[in-house]
């Protein structure tokens, strides 16, 4: 059964996507409802899987991991699960996506240095059985880094 969001739900999601720590009473005040109403709506969206978790945005460069990288992998599809299992253990990788297109998997992560990045790609990723080729890029400049919902369109 598909869950339909009304305008208040959408407004709640917009506000939470801008600030996941915003107080329920502040949302309630903005939307002219009670804090309990906000709590109930958020709980309902969590139960339906619309909101999966609240998280933080970490500035990795501030804790010694200034190099942001993207590693695209071409793999033997018959060992996808085994490759993913190993990739999940690499602490420097924080996002893994199975994709369509030219490459099979995209990994996003942060490295402490170029030497560290080389170690991640050459010793941790490229040696996984079933990984045929890797293509690694380094982020030069962040232009937009936001998960704020734009539900107005």
Give residue-wise pLDDT tens across range 29-69.
999 999 999 999 999 999 998 898 887 777 888 889 999 99
Domain map (residue ranges) of the chain: 7-47, 60-138
What pLDDT is attached to residue 150? Answer: 66
pLDDT band at 109 (very low <50, low <70, confident <90, very high): very high
Measured CA to CA, the distance from residue 41 to residue 14 in angstroms comes to 14
Asked whether the predicted pLDDT for residue 145 surpasses 80, the reply is no
Residue 132 φ/ψ, nearest 5 degrees:
-90, -35
| pLDDT tens digits along 75-96 | 999 999 999 999 999 999 999 9
| pTM for the structure as a whole | 0.77
The pLDDT assigned to 151 comes to 59
pLDDT of residue 153: 45
| Residue 4: band (very low, low, confident or very high) from pLDDT cuts 50, 70, 90 | confident
- The mean per-residue pLDDT over the stretch 107-118 comes to 97
The mean pLDDT of 98-109, rounded to a whole number, is: 96
* CATH number listed for the domain at residues 60-138: 3.30.70.920
The second-level CATH assignment, the architecture, of 7-47 is: Orthogonal Bundle (1.10)
- How is residue 62 annotated by DSSP? G
């Amino acid at each position: 059964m598909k869950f339909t969001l009304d305008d208040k739900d959408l407004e709640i999601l917009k506000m939470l996507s801008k600030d996941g720590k915003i107080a329920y009473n502040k949302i309630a005040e903005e939307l002219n409802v009670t804090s309990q109403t906000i709590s109930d709506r958020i709980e309902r969206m969590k139960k339906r899987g619309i909101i999966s978790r609240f998280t933080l945005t970490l500035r990795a460069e501030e804790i010694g991991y200034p190099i942001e990288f993207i590693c695209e992998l071409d793999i033997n599809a018959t060992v996808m699960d085994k490759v993913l299992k190993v990739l999940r253990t690499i602490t420097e990788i924080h996002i893994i996506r199975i994709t369509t297109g030219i490459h099979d998997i995209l990994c996003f992560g942060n490295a402490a240095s170029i030497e560290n990045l080389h170690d991640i790609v050459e010793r941790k990723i490229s040696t996984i059985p079933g990984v045929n080729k890797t293509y690694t890029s380094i982020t030069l400049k962040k232009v937009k880094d936001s998960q704020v919902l734009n539900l107005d369109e």
